[in-house]
Structure 1
Amino acid sequence: MSLEEIQRLAWEGFRNRVREAVGSSPLFAEKVRQHCGMLPDCTRMVDPARLPVWTKDDLRQWYATAPVPPVPGAWVHATGGTSGMPCRFYVTRESYEWRMAVSDRGYRWAGAEEGVRSVYVWGAPAARLSPAVRFRRALINRIQNRWFYNAMVLDAERCEACVDLINRVRPAALVGYAGCLVTLADHVVSHPGCLTHRVRSIITAAEGIDGNQVARLSAALGGMVYQSYGSREFMLIGMECRAHGGYHLSSDNLLVEVVDEAGRPCVEQAGRILVTDLHNAATPFIRYETGDVGVMSAEPCPCGLPFPLLRRVDGRVQDLLTLPGGKQVSALLLPHVMKEHRWVNAYQLEVMEDDPSRWILNVMSDTDVTEAARIALVANMHRWVGETVAINLRRVDRLVRAPNGKTPVVVRERRIVERIK
């Protein structure tokens, strides 16, 4: 199938999704009507640029009023929000199957598809799982030939345990959060001889890394590095191929746009990334703003794959937090935990560079927060970072914004930011 054929099917899928959402979601229909002055004619192709952008605030408002479930068989997913804004949404079986298939296809380009022996340097579920669920997941992982290592907190001891797992399993591929893999690579470099097995390929997820970090990963752990771009709302959005010129977009599953401030398409220049899920009838993910900034390529990739190319994604580098004693924790821990606490609308962590034992966790909520809920959140955080960090949970009505206009999840130097509503 050619790029033109895939894009034609994507436009048809977009029109169908708009028609379904207008008919099933009064909130979405009203937002479209206010923006356009009328509802679109879905008997013909619909120009995405004429429709409004769907924001995380829109999604939260929709979820609060949506039928349960919106369509038969749909179930709830949650994202902790790497932008500091947790959200909940529904997923259908069709959408889930598409997500899994697209992810496996992208990982196949890196030699890490289902069945290939792989080690995942990943995060464990924030919520405690029942024995039955743990058994089921372990069985599926073995069938898929995948081993998982919880790397949310990494110190020398845990890095050594992860290296031991790699040496024992001898995987062909290594998959993990980018920051965690860089920490692991630095450990291997500083402990010569500890890693006796080198993988063929490395897939980084959740965060962006620069060329220097790519070289460090390849030199320390072995194999070619492939960067992926995804989100909890959609799973894999884009994946590098062997040409490493950007992310091939899964446009048979998702319609991805890069737009300017007015919502109009822009090519070869930085713009806001919007995503439409073409197969999830349960949630109106139509021109949904991910919070990321990217650059769409005007030229096809020389590799020959029939998918559009997102040249780069900006602003996806996450912080590493240092705990007392030198342990490091990925800031991805925050969305990982926050998605389990439904009363949190937005959050931001303040840390003091000269005192890693004190954190201030600012949260926003539009509901009355009980003391039990506050205690549960702090206890969940302590479960991951230990009791050596004093966490002061503070409810606020505004967060802080950096000079570039973004609201960072982690604030280190408050003198360079301004308070906003």
Structure 2
Amino acid sequence: MYETLYRNILLPMFDGTIKGRQTMKHWQRAEATQWHSRSELELQQLVDLRRLVAHAAAHSLYYKNLLLEHAIDPATISSFDDFRRVPLLHRETIARNRLQLSTSLPMKRISKSTGGSSGEPLHFEISAESNDRRVAMTYRGYGWAHAGPGTRQLYIWGTPPSRLAAWKRWKMSLHHAFDHHLVLSCFEFTPEMMHRQLRRMNAWRPQVIVAYTNAAYEFARFIESEGLQVWQPKSIVVGAEKLHDFQRIVLERVFKAPVFETYGSREFMLIGAECEQHSGLHLSMENLFVEILDDEGQPTPAGEEGNVVITDLFNDAMPFIRYVNGDRAIAGFENCPCGRGLPLLRKVTGRQLDVLTTPDGRKIPGEFFPHLIKDYRSIRRFQVIQNDPHEIIVRMVTSGGLTLADLHHLENDLREGIGPIVTLKLEQVDDIPLTRAGKLKVVVNNLQTSQTSGRLPEHSDLAAGSDDQPAAQGALVCQH
């Protein structure tokens, strides 16, 4: 009943009439275009790419200079190969050229920050139109998992620190109630807390569970090991961290519901999502152009692993053109038996954040740290290390603007997640070394305990942290 009321009256009235957004229009169009042929979608993609590059050349000082330097005329882009002449965009480049990347046109802009799961939080802008399109893609992708707007959903997710202003907490609670969501924090997963959260979940009786991958997996293992009764939803949507086959098996066994994997990030929201066929991740092709490239910047042969590179087709506020997001995936965009023209991303292989454990039984998802530290703009790079069950070390490279008050707030915020027993050390350092693969492993659990059972062996790239899984939606990614 509420789902019908929400979709047909409340959401259109709030989103369109009150807020003046175009989300519903983009969502309706996306529900139709997903059934267009691959060739039709690619043709429109090329048109949108050409428009984007022309817009960036005209209104972004950074791209104006870049395209002139490489003798690229947007009007001559007639193929994807032509488009690939535009140089790659890296996180460090954005940090150094943020003002020059932003366009000069007046428009409604939304400031965003990544969770910094790659170790360096990123601050950027998106246009209001781009945001509306992103939300529409999320509505469509989640809809494949029976988690469309208005459905009764339980989120096992990240929550803001308790020092957040009371009015902001009230506003968030009101928003969750309007959306028909119950949000449970996965940042305090002690056995006692998981008992409490299970009781709340069973009382809520959600149609769908939306969760961070590792948090949902730890929750399911706890429920199974304790022999507890759990409400059975229609489906489970996971994101923010790579879903492995062994995790899917456990989740589906415990909750007796199909699991749908999503892939997203704060920079782009939903990049890909599984449909009912579970054959791979359908790309949000109408919004994004996704490439898989080797370390030399060339297209990776199908079946081989490469770097994920993404272009947002409609972020006119601050164009992200051929952005190397730090993830790794298997190349080769296949078709799905479902009949949708949206190509499938075969498999995302990076990035995976370690789970930390404490003597009082807490299992702290690695996403807790970037989720929190993203709000401290003076912290340019960080790394969390656990060498001992009773100690957690946070190393930080700062810009010099981190005050004693900031350190006090940071310590209090971290303490909410790690609990009172563990010693917390905050260390300001000049640099944090990268791995041999040139990556920064953000959360490092050096403990060899039974808690790591079911994870990848330590010699694998994913376990070693050469590739880090994004925060999502999102996320979803403990992205929202």
Question: What TM-score do you get using the length of structure 2 for normalisation?
Answer: 0.81
Letter in 2 for 1:212: F
SS at match of 1:199: coil
Matched, 1:72 2:107: yes
| Structure 2 match to 1:238 | 272
| Structure 2 match to 1:201 | 235
Task: Say which is worse superposed, 322-331 or 57-66, in terms of deviation.
Answer: 57-66
Once residues 422 and 445 of structure 2 are traced to their aligned partners in structure 1, the CA distance between those partners, rounded to angstroms, is 16
The match for 1:253 among 278, 284, 287 is 287
SS at match of 1:218: helix
* Aligned ranges 1:359-374 → 2 under 5 Å: 359-374=392-407
5+ residue gaps, structure 2: 1-35, 448-458, 465-480
Task: Say which is worse superposed, 63-72 or 273-282, in terms of deviation.
Answer: 63-72
Once residues 368 and 65 of structure 1 are traced to their aligned partners in structure 2, the CA distance between those partners, rounded to angstroms, is 23
Percent identity between the two aligned chains:
31
Distance 1:42 1:162, change over 3 A: farther
Alpha-carbon distance, 1:66 to partner: 6.1
| Structure 1 match to 2:60 | 25
| Structure 1 match to 2:28 | none
Alpha-carbon distance, 1:312 to partner: 0.3
Instruction: List per-residue Cα deviations over 1:257-304 (Å, max 9, x = no partner).
Output: 111122222233211101111121111211111100112334311121
Letter in 2 for 1:58: T
| Structure 2 match to 1:173 | 208
CA contact (8 A) 2:53 2:74 kept: no
Number of positions where the alignment pairs a residue of Structure 1 with one of Structure 2 = 411
Matched, 1:83 2:142: no
CA contact (8 A) 1:77 1:90 kept: yes
5+ residue gaps, structure 1: none
Alpha-carbon distance, 1:29 to partner: 3.0
Instruction: List per-residue Cα deviations over 1:76-131 (Å, max 9, x = no partner).
Output: 11112211110111122111111111011001111111111111111112484434
Once residues 405 and 233 of structure 1 are traced to their aligned partners in structure 2, the CA distance between those partners, rounded to angstroms, is 21
Matched, 1:376 2:403: no
| Structure 1 match to 2:171 | 136
Alpha-carbon distance, 1:148 to partner: 1.0
Distance 1:81 1:318, change over 3 A: same
Once residues 333 and 211 of structure 2 are traced to their aligned partners in structure 1, the CA distance between those partners, rounded to angstroms, is 30
Instruction: List per-residue Cα deviations over 1:299-335 (Å, max 9, x = no partner).
Output: 3111211101100001222211012312110010111
Once residues 323 and 106 of structure 1 are traced to their aligned partners in structure 2, the CA distance between those partners, rounded to angstroms, is 36
Once residues 322 and 343 of structure 1 are traced to their aligned partners in structure 2, the CA distance between those partners, rounded to angstroms, is 28
Letter in 1 for 2:240: A
Alpha-carbon distance, 1:43 to partner: 5.2
Matched, 1:220 2:254: yes
| Structure 1 match to 2:75 | 42
CA contact (8 A) 1:206 1:316 kept: no
Distance 1:68 1:177, change over 3 A: same
Once residues 287 and 162 of structure 2 are traced to their aligned partners in structure 1, the CA distance between those partners, rounded to angstroms, is 29
The match for 1:343 among 351, 358, 378 is 378
SS at match of 1:50: coil
Alpha-carbon distance, 1:235 to partner: 0.9
Distance 1:318 1:70, change over 3 A: farther
Matched, 1:395 2:395: no
SS at match of 1:153: coil
Letter in 2 for 1:243: Q
Distance 1:220 1:20, change over 3 A: same
Provide runs of 4+ in structure 1 moved above 4 Å: 64-70
Once residues 22 and 127 of structure 1 are traced to their aligned partners in structure 2, the CA distance between those partners, rounded to angstroms, is 44
Alpha-carbon distance, 1:33 to partner: 4.1
Letter in 2 for 1:48: F
Letter in 1 for 2:434: R
The match for 1:303 among 338, 363, 378 is 338
Instruction: List per-residue Cα deviations over 1:181-201 (Å, max 9, x = no partner).
Output: 001101110222432x21111
Alpha-carbon distance, 1:223 to partner: 0.5
The match for 2:133 among 93, 98, 112 is 98
SS at match of 1:401: coil
| Structure 1 match to 2:157 | 122
Over the aligned positions, Cα root-mean-square deviation in angstroms equals: 2.2
Distance 1:383 1:413, change over 3 A: closer
Alpha-carbon distance, 1:5 to partner: 1.3
CA contact (8 A) 1:363 1:395 kept: yes
| Structure 2 match to 1:109 | 144
Larger relative contact order (Cα-Cα within 8 Å, sequence gap ≥ 6)? 2
| Structure 1 match to 2:451 | none
| Structure 1 match to 2:327 | 292
CA contact (8 A) 2:101 2:318 kept: no
The match for 1:184 among 219, 228, 231 is 219
SS at match of 2:248: helix
| Structure 1 match to 2:188 | 153
Distance 1:39 1:48, change over 3 A: closer
Once residues 399 and 326 of structure 2 are traced to their aligned partners in structure 1, the CA distance between those partners, rounded to angstroms, is 22
Once residues 156 and 383 of structure 1 are traced to their aligned partners in structure 2, the CA distance between those partners, rounded to angstroms, is 16
Alpha-carbon distance, 1:412 to partner: 4.1
Alpha-carbon distance, 1:153 to partner: 2.1
| Structure 2 match to 1:62 | 97
Distance 1:369 1:123, change over 3 A: closer
Matched, 1:16 2:51: yes
Question: What TM-score do you get using the length of structure 1 for normalisation?
Answer: 0.91
Distance 1:392 1:69, change over 3 A: farther
